[in-house]
Amino acid sequence: MNVNLGHLSDDELIGRVAWLYYVFGLNQGEAAARLGLHRSRVNRLLAEGRDRGLIRVTINHSLVRDFEREQAIARAFKLDFCLATPQTGFVPPDSDPRLAALHSTAARRSVGMVGASFLQGKLEAGAQTVGVSWGRTMEQVALHLSIARNPAIKFVSLIGSLTRSSVANPFEVVQAFALRTGGEVHFLPVPFIADSVEDRDVLMSQRMVRDAVELAWAADLYLISVGELAETSVLRQQAIITTDEMRSLRDHGVVCDTLGAFFDADGQIVRHPLGDLSLSVGAENLRGRNVVLLSAGLEKTTATAALLRSGLVRGLIIDGDSAARLESLL
C-alpha cells in the first residue's frame, strides 16, 4: 500500500526511506514500492542522506582492517599509528573523470567515518580542545560525528577562515564540529591568503586573531588535511590561488600543502611568496604535537607521502586504495 508523502519535507522523506531500508531490512525496490517512489529516487535519497550525515552507518572497523599494511606504513614514516579503511580494489581509469570523482567522494566518506570514530574516542577520553583544518574530508568527519553534547569542548580553526566561497569554508567546517557536540567555535576571522606581507602582519597582530592562535597552540589534538598541487585541490577549486601561482609553486618543487605551508617531495618546507602571505597557526608550530592527517583519494597519494616525510604528522587516517598505493611507494 502506498503512503501519502506529500506533506513530508525532503529530510523527513530521507528519514522514512532510511528507516525502511536500514531498520526494517527492505531492499531499495521494496522500500520504493512501499512509499510509492521510483527505485532510482530511493537510491538518490539514501546517497544524499549519507553525504549530509542524516544517515550514519556504523561498522566495526577492526573487522576489516589490514593491520600489516597499516603497520608497514606507520613504520616507514615513523608514525604512532595508521588507520586505513577497507581496500575496494576499484581504481578508476585516468580517462574517466566521472569514475574518478565517484571514487574520491566514496574515499572521503569512508575516511570521514573512521575519522569521526577516532575523534569520538579522543573526546570521550578527555580531549577538550581540537584544532581542525579545512577540506571536504574534514567536513565528512564532522557530518559523521556522534557524541553526547559537551559545551566544554572547543573546536578551533587552524587557518584563516574567510574565502570567496562557502564550499569547505574553514569556518563552516569548524562550526559543523561544534554543532555536532554543542561545543564552542573559535576561528581566525581573516583571509587564508593576504594581499601583502604587510597586510598579513597587521591581520595576525589583531587581538581576536592572537587569542584564537594561542588557543590553537594549546590544543590536545590536531586534525589536518593535505592538498595536492592540481586542479582538483581545494586551493584551485575555490580559486584561492591562480593557475599561474600553481605553476610557480610547481617550478619551486612544491608537491603538497597544509596549513599554508608548502612541501617538496622529500617533505622539506619550500619558501615561496605565497607561504609568506598565508594566515594560519603555522605548520612548524605544531611539530612534535598530536597531529593526525586525514587523506582520502588516490589523487592525494603523492602529496600524502611528501607530507608524511616531513615528520610533522604523528598519525594517519587514509582510505584503503590510497593506503595500498602508498605502501607500494615504500
Is the pLDDT score of 166 beyond 50?
A: no
Q: Are 103 and 298 in contact (CB under 8 A)?
A: yes
pLDDT band at 163 (very low <50, low <70, confident <90, very high): low
Is 260 buried (19+), middle (13-18) or exposed (0-12) by CB count in 10 A?
buried
- Structure confidence at residue 60 (pLDDT): 62
Lowest mean pLDDT among 23-27, 58-62, 108-112: 58-62
Mean pLDDT for 55-71 is 75
Q: How confident is the model at residue 213 (pLDDT cuts 50, 70, 90)?
A: very high
Say what the pLDDT of residue 161 is.
Answer: 77
Phi-psi region of 96 (alpha: psi -120 to 50; beta: other; left: phi over 0): beta
Q: What is the mean pLDDT of residues 95-124?
A: 89
In contact, 87 and 106? CB cutoff 8 Å: no
The domains of the chain, with CATH numbers, are 10-51 (1.10.10.10), 61-328 (3.40.50.1360)
Largest CA distance in the chain: 69
| pLDDT, mean over the chain | 88
Q: Which of 126-140, 165-179, 207-221, 242-256 has the lowest mean pLDDT?
A: 165-179
Nearest CA among 187, 196, 136, 190 for reference residue 157: 187
39-59 pLDDT, tens digit per residue, is 989 898 988 888 887 887 766
* Separation in Å, CA 31 to CA 9, 11, 13, 23, 38: 18, 16, 12, 11, 9
Quick check: 1 pLDDT over 50? Answer: no
What pTM did the predictor assign? 0.83
Q: How far is CA 52 from CA 14, 30, 45, 56, 142, in A?
A: 11, 24, 10, 9, 10
Q: Please give the average per-residue pLDDT across 305-329, as a whole number.
A: 96
Least confident range from 38-52, 92-106, 174-188: namely 92-106
Percentage of the chain exceeding pLDDT 70: 92
Give the model's pLDDT for residue 3: 54
User: Cell triple for residue 210?
Assistant: 592572537
Total Cβ atoms within 10 A of residue 175: 17
Q: What is the DSSP letter of 90?
A: -
